[in-house]
């Protein structure tokens, strides 16, 4: 019985690890595409996990991950953005930039 529990635990941890790798790959691809669409530079070509938790909705329970990434508008400065993944789906993407520029 202890062996079955150990095997089950190893399988659950393996699934979680592979699911996390896949979610990070998807988040990275989303950030790259969004930066390219907005003519921004996606710095370091990576996202970093900031928060991990569970999310309950009407569709069921999913793992919710918040990733941070760096980008540059002009090539010299570094700004932060974040992407929220619920399971393997995009929930939110933010660059922290104003949506409209006002004329001075």
Provide the residue-wise pLDDT of the chain in tens; the chain has 104 residues.
788 999 999 999 999 999 999 999 999 999 999 999 999 999 999 999 999 999 998 888 999 999 999 999 887 788 999 999 999 999 999 998 666 555 44
How many structural domains comprise the chain?
1
Q: Is the pTM of this model over 0.95?
A: no
64 within domain boundaries: yes
Structural domain of residue 73, as residue ranges? Answer: 2-94
41 within domain boundaries: yes
Query: How buried is 17 (Cβ within 10 angstroms: 0-12 exposed, 13-18 middle, 19+ buried)?
Result: exposed
Question: Rounded distance, CA 83 to CA 30, Å?
Answer: 9
Question: Rounded distance, CA 92 to CA 66, Å?
Answer: 9
DSSP 78: -
100 within domain boundaries: no
101 within domain boundaries: no
70 within domain boundaries: yes
74 within domain boundaries: yes
């Amino acid at each position: 019985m202890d062996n079955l529990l150990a095997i089950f635990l190893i399988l659950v941890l393996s699934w979680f690890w592979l699911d996390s790798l896949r979610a990070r790959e998807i988040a990275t691809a989303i950030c790259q595409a969004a930066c390219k669409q907005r003519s921004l530079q996606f710095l370091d070509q990576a996202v970093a996990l900031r928060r991990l938790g569970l999310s309950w909705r009407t569709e069921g329970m999913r793992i919710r991950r918040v990733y941070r990434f760096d980008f540059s508008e002009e090539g010299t400065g570094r700004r932060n953005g974040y992407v929220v993944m619920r399971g393997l789906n995009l929930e939110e993407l933010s660059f922290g930039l104003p949506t409209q520029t006002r004329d001075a």
